[in-house]
Amino acid sequence: MAHNCLQCIKYLMFVFNLLFWLGGCGILGVGIWLAVTQGNFATLSSSFPSLSAANLLIVTGTFVMIIGFVGCIGAIKENKCLLLSFFIMLLIIFLLELTVVILFFVYTDKIDKYAQRDLKKGLHLYGTDGNIGLTNAWSIIQTDFRCCGVSNYTDWFEVYNTTRVPDSCCLEFSENCGLHSPGTWWKAPCYETVKIWLQENLLAVGIFGLCTAMVQFRVDKQIATSRISIC
């Protein structure tokens, strides 16, 4: 009975990690596609030009694939060494995430000030040669989130040295609509708008990730501590 139960847990863990690995493949594929087709898409920071959506997805997908692969092989082979490695990787990721969350809440004000200052600095690269990724990212964000500028639409006045904004700030898009009066532009600040959206959505993602990690830890512990396998 105990052996059958352990076998069931083993195959459940294998399937779970197989899906985990396939998810990593999907994330990596999207990252590569963005890197090839969109260049530096979603690179908003002038200080960290490599911090793009494509690069983040590639790195995340690679790590997820490695962890899922180790978990799959460790489960199906009932190898304690691989399972221990799998457990350690999950534990390290969990501790890193916990550390980042703690630091974020402790230094929220400083992070906000630095992020807004860096984003405003990046506005001056909008529409310039070699910064198509940043230009596209700002256009998409302002259009989708119905916002304008980092903290206010007047952020763009310093960029253009005149009273105008990009056309993506317009309530109703049209050619050169950014030259019209402020009454035709979005008034919401993009930084706060996107921040609120992330807080609302990342909470659900964080809860799901925590539950997933706890399930993985428990299953891994049950298999790794079994005496039917040897390293």
Report how far residue 186's alpha carbon sits from residue 202's, in angstroms, rounded to the nearest whole number: 25
Same domain for 114 and 167? Answer: yes
- Domain of residue 131 covers 110-190
Instruction: Report the pLDDT averaged over residues 43-65.
Output: 73
The answer, yes or no, to whether residue 209 has pLDDT greater than 70, is no
Query: What pTM value is reported for the model?
Result: 0.65
Closest alpha carbon to 228 in 70, 9, 68? 9
Domain membership of residue 202 (yes or no) is: no
The DSSP result for 113-172, as a single string, is HHHHHHHHHHHTTTT-TT-HHHHHHHHHHHHHTTB-SSS-TTHHHHHHTSS---GGGBSS
Same domain for 114 and 95? Answer: no
Residue 193 has a pLDDT of 92
- With a pLDDT cut of 70, the percent of the chain lying above it is 75
Instruction: Report the pLDDT averaged over residues 145-161.
Output: 93
Tokens matching residue 117: 């200052």
Instruction: Report the pLDDT averaged over residues 188-197.
Output: 90
Same domain for 59 and 137? Answer: no
Same domain for 24 and 88? Answer: yes
Residue 73 has a pLDDT of 84
The answer, yes or no, to whether residue 41 has pLDDT greater than 70, is no
Number of domains the chain contains? 2
Higher pLDDT, 226 or 98: 98
Report how far residue 164's alpha carbon sits from residue 41's, in angstroms, rounded to the nearest whole number: 24
Residue 39 has a pLDDT of 53
Residue 151 has a pLDDT of 92
Same domain for 67 and 154? Answer: no
Same domain for 116 and 55? Answer: no
Domain membership of residue 32 (yes or no) is: yes
Domain membership of residue 17 (yes or no) is: yes
Same domain for 93 and 165? Answer: no
CATH of the domain at 184: 1.10.1450.10
Domain membership of residue 58 (yes or no) is: yes
Domain membership of residue 137 (yes or no) is: yes
Instruction: Report the pLDDT averaged over residues 113-139.
Output: 85
Is residue 20 within 8 A of residue 73, CB to CB? The reply is no
Same domain for 120 and 65? Answer: no
Same domain for 85 and 144? Answer: no
Same domain for 7 and 81? Answer: yes
Domain membership of residue 174 (yes or no) is: yes
Residue 231 has a pLDDT of 41
Is residue 8 within 8 A of residue 215, CB to CB? The reply is no
Same domain for 64 and 118? Answer: no
Same domain for 60 and 84? Answer: yes
The answer, yes or no, to whether residue 230 has pLDDT greater than 50, is no
What is the average pLDDT value for the chain, to the nearest integer? 78
Domain membership of residue 150 (yes or no) is: yes
The answer, yes or no, to whether residue 165 has pLDDT greater than 90, is yes
